[in-house]
Structure 1
């Protein structure tokens, strides 16, 4: 049985957590099943956040759809930002016969899927908001545990390949989710149910076939709330590489989210497509992105490990993403969006695959075995933009009279800025 939160917190390790390396067939199985799990999770996020929720919200109040979507993203992301590092820290301190991470993966998937399916049955914006926040909290409790498995169970020198496969799965999932949701947008209950069932089944299977060894208890220390909360502050003066990695991730997602959040509305109000055509167009663009990002993710991960370099790949990926966002300003039609889709696939695929490996290598060297907590903090560099970017976008649209070109300009500034943040990192080549 999984321990209660106070029991888990009381077992604070006084030395680094034991390594749980895998090899041979078990390692290959773990790598591919982890890739599949992230594929399904990202498909869920992209399909729900990029297509299903925007359509549902627009039906409730077409005149205020952009503002309501921004509010949903902001509220959800506040909870997600708080949940991710706390869940990561708690998973570091969880001791069960099923290991540290597995209970969080299983519980998060099941609770999240129940709440997600409930969203499909709601008939008001307020009820959708409440249930989606519940689902997001559950999924964000699961995600840091899954991410930390890379640091737990794969040697550092192989993480580029592993991250490349996982990154390919994530980016392919973003595309697949958009395609599926785009074509099933008219069958809301079926679409939500498909995503909810897929992530639940995938995570149950993952936990069963990749049995995590039990983590032995260490001598417990007295739990102090102040000490626990203080541990979430990582001094950028003592850990500058961690701070720069956080800043780079934060800025690139500020730019990326500004476009991804409103892509359906961009196709409708900037490109000029009807509602039905916009839903199929977003699926078509996702297919273009798919081919580019899969090749980019796997190739970047392989080359990064072969050359033992991370920074150049992240730097170039940021530049490619910035160029992608320039194209719709020059060609505000479907041709421009198709070029955007191809370039964003190349850049984002490379960025996601190498960024994950980079993150595991800039973690502070502590004695507490806090990998889950620290990776959770780095994940907030994605969650915080989900709060700020849609709000920023809504304000810019309001001030500019719904001129979506302004969003592309803001996104370009942030994404190009991200490329500069990787240069000062010293501990990773």
Structure 2
């Protein structure tokens, strides 16, 4: 499907279409992240404390690994299936609507299921439903959004995600002593996120008239092959994204332990510092994410925001390493958070720009999104290995700096994107 077809015969979006798409991407990202964080950051850990107080950490670790795997597989699977979907509602719309309902019901059930096994199964189903929405929606950046507007729409998604994350934790904390209403809110918000999206944005064109795809077993299996021909930039983007996320999650996921074990704060003082960091991170990343994307579209460049973001992240990693103080970690949140928000605002636009085949956007973007899961999983593992080997967090910061510099180099090697 060409860009012209995807936006109703226009080479650019009208003002009305821009507003509707922007609102849809922002509200979708806000809703799903808010709903997920209410459960994942607050209510699920509290629920596990109540039903399995002696093994809550182990169960939580298993759940995080299982849901990461469910996300990885479902994102790739659904992305490809949405490419192949032929319906009067379009390729992406049916998946987005159904995914929200599945994810919403599954999140709510976590609040009433009796044990770790059933909660884990429901949690995995919620990740499947969530990725039934996310994979097709990101693929729609290729289908329906002209290249000149992708940075702006990517920024709306990033801004909504950042705001939803902060609000979800705040709302979840209000129900920590009486959890069921919190699970209900989470389920409802997640459930309606997909429906609101397809109501807000311009109606997707029917895909019934697109060329039919082979439905035989061999054809389906072959459709999952990674892109090879003309995919140099695609794989450079994959490696660059993976390394950048490795570096960020090496520190972000260990910020409490860094404050307590590396800097030497007490439990009470570290909680105060974490709260301050969270507010700072939310403000600066929201500002940078909502501004960098439109600027990227205006100047017609993706690499410049990525280079600046990488430098800011490297400086952010260095500050707690050099200052060795709570202020160093707050400055990491400020400087590094601004850089991460800037990267996030152009990330999806960059990914769409390097796709070797727009007709396989869902599948190929699913592969690129594996980098997100890898970053969230491998980054903390690298940190734990370094701490186990050295007995200190001293090597974590320079390692993260090296990774983000390598990420920047790989992205700069991309030829297709300016």
What TM-score do the two structures reach when normalised by structure 1? Answer: 0.84
Structure-2 change in CA distance of 1:262 and 1:137 (3 Å):
farther
Q: Is 1:151 the counterpart of 2:151 in the alignment?
A: no
* Aligned twin of 2:288: 296
Structure-2 change in CA distance of 1:114 and 1:407 (3 Å):
farther
Residue 69 of structure 1: CA displacement?
A: 4.2
Residue 64 of structure 1: CA displacement?
A: 6.7
Per-residue deviation, residues 209-266 of structure 1 (Å, max 9, x unmatched): 3332322334534323333333333355731100010111111222223334444555
Partner Cα separation in structure 2 for residue 96 and residue 279 of structure 1: 51
Q: Is 1:361 the counterpart of 2:348 in the alignment?
A: no
Partner Cα separation in structure 2 for residue 264 and residue 189 of structure 1: 28
Residue 67 of structure 1: CA displacement?
A: 5.4
Partner Cα separation in structure 2 for residue 200 and residue 77 of structure 1: 20
Partner Cα separation in structure 1 for residue 120 and residue 270 of structure 2: 24
Q: Is 1:223 the counterpart of 2:187 in the alignment?
A: no
Alignment check: 8 A CA contact 2:82 2:92 kept: yes
Structure 1 residues 238-247 or 337-346, which shifts more?
Answer: 337-346
Alignment check: 8 A CA contact 1:50 1:261 kept: no
Q: 1:85 aligns with which of 70, 76, 92?
A: 76
Q: Is 1:381 the counterpart of 2:386 in the alignment?
A: no
Residue 162 of structure 1: CA displacement?
A: 2.1
Partner Cα separation in structure 1 for residue 313 and residue 38 of structure 2: 21
Report how many aligned residue pairs link the two structures.
Answer: 412
Written as runs of structure 1 = structure 2, the 5 A alignment for 1:223-372 is: 223-235=215-227, 238-263=230-255, 272-274=265-267, 282-365=274-357, 369-372=359-362
Structure-2 change in CA distance of 1:281 and 1:109 (3 Å):
farther
* Aligned twin of 1:4: none
Partner Cα separation in structure 2 for residue 152 and residue 415 of structure 1: 31
SS of the counterpart of 1:138?
helix
Structure-2 change in CA distance of 1:412 and 1:122 (3 Å):
farther
Partner Cα separation in structure 1 for residue 383 and residue 322 of structure 2: 20
Alignment check: 8 A CA contact 2:42 2:172 kept: yes
Partner Cα separation in structure 1 for residue 326 and residue 178 of structure 2: 26
Alignment check: 8 A CA contact 2:38 2:168 kept: yes
* Aligned twin of 1:138: 129
Q: Is 1:423 the counterpart of 2:415 in the alignment?
A: no
Per-residue deviation, residues 75-98 of structure 1 (Å, max 9, x unmatched): 222221111121011111222232
Structure-2 change in CA distance of 1:330 and 1:58 (3 Å):
farther
SS of the counterpart of 2:215?
coil
Structure-2 change in CA distance of 1:134 and 1:378 (3 Å):
same
Residue 132 of structure 1: CA displacement?
A: 1.4
Alignment check: 8 A CA contact 1:255 1:389 kept: yes
Q: Is 1:111 the counterpart of 2:98 in the alignment?
A: no
Partner Cα separation in structure 2 for residue 278 and residue 181 of structure 1: 21
* Aligned twin of 2:62: 71
Partner Cα separation in structure 2 for residue 266 and residue 388 of structure 1: 18
Structure-2 change in CA distance of 1:108 and 1:265 (3 Å):
farther
Residue 295 of structure 1: CA displacement?
A: 1.7
Alignment check: 8 A CA contact 2:88 2:205 kept: yes
Q: Give 5+ residue unaligned stretches, structure 1.
A: 1-12
* Aligned twin of 2:88: 97
Structure-2 change in CA distance of 1:329 and 1:27 (3 Å):
same
Structure 1 residues 106-115 or 189-198, which shifts more?
Answer: 189-198
Residue 357 of structure 1: CA displacement?
A: 1.1
Structure-2 change in CA distance of 1:50 and 1:327 (3 Å):
farther
Residue 280 of structure 1: CA displacement?
A: 6.8
Structure-2 change in CA distance of 1:327 and 1:203 (3 Å):
same
Alignment check: 8 A CA contact 2:260 2:266 kept: yes
Alignment check: 8 A CA contact 2:214 2:220 kept: no
Alignment check: 8 A CA contact 1:178 1:286 kept: no
Partner Cα separation in structure 1 for residue 395 and residue 51 of structure 2: 26
SS of the counterpart of 1:40?
helix
Residue 282 of structure 1: CA displacement?
A: 4.2
Partner Cα separation in structure 1 for residue 41 and residue 254 of structure 2: 8
Partner Cα separation in structure 2 for residue 266 and residue 189 of structure 1: 33
SS of the counterpart of 2:226?
coil
Alignment check: 8 A CA contact 1:78 1:384 kept: no
Residue 163 of structure 1: CA displacement?
A: 1.9
